[in-house]
Structure 1
């Protein structure tokens, strides 16, 4: 049995990929878009609750990796990312889960051989590994998971 690893592509539409201790990989895409009539912080509370539920279903998380974004399309995107990142890192600290950000270019290069790969190329990479990602967020999380398994466990999957 090895460490359970969670990989996240943070955002209003968060991509996630989880490798359990027995090597099983599950993934998906979860929406944390603001809902009508809710306060600005509610999306982050929903995100935190979702993380806790995921941790419970996974029977614990040994390591967490997230896509480290340095440049955003808009100010709103940057603010949302900052909120998700703050919520995530505080949650990890609270639960004693080690976490690490990985630059986007590093993930893309590992997945496709190109640090500037397009969304379609990342999706194609996930499909080539036998996955059927619902969107580019899930594909990004899968690419990050494969990078994390390689670097955290020293294994190719």
Structure 2
């Protein structure tokens, strides 16, 4: 028998009580993001870190760092971050960009004591669509079936990561 005075979410880690800001990212030149705010609302979008022709090699990562700081400033302290863990890339440049963004993200999180975790691509796709090798259109359709209208596959992937994290308590279930 359940005690009516008992907190029903007592076994749920603090990041999942709904009063914390959770961030999910699909890292890339066009980064998809989804945020579960402390108010319980989910917002999402994409942001471009494409350098201009006059930028030095590190400007993409400085912009990403500044964007993370601004996101945290506007949404409140970020309790946890999940990102798509990519093991294969279409080309060398994509791999370099991903690695730089991941290094920037993990350093930013470490400096603030924010836990972070990479989630394998197949895990995200399987949770969203039931198929571990779902294509971009299937991921967008899965997001739309959940009542969200992503602008592209980057945003759809970030939404899928966030929903996976919330529904599995970051893989704990």
**Shared topology, TM-score over 0.5?**
yes
TM bin, normalised by shorter chain, reads over 0.9
- Pair 1:23-2:40 in alignment: yes
Separation of aligned partners in 1, 2:170 and 2:98: 28
Separation of aligned partners in 1, 2:80 and 2:155: 18
- Pair 1:130-2:161 in alignment: no
- Pair 1:115-2:151 in alignment: no
The match for 1:6 among 10, 15, 23 is 23
The number of residues matched between the two structures is 154
Separation of aligned partners in 1, 2:66 and 2:168: 28
Greater C-alpha Rg: 2
Using the TM superposition, give the Cα deviation of residue 132 of structure 1 relative to its aligned residue in structure 2, in angstroms: 1.0
Separation of aligned partners in 2, 1:73 and 1:34: 19
Unaligned segments of structure 1, at least 5 residues = none
- Pair 1:103-2:120 in alignment: yes
RMSD: 1.2
Unaligned segments of structure 2, at least 5 residues = 1-17
What SS is found at the alignment partner of 2:133? coil
Moved over 6 A (4+): none
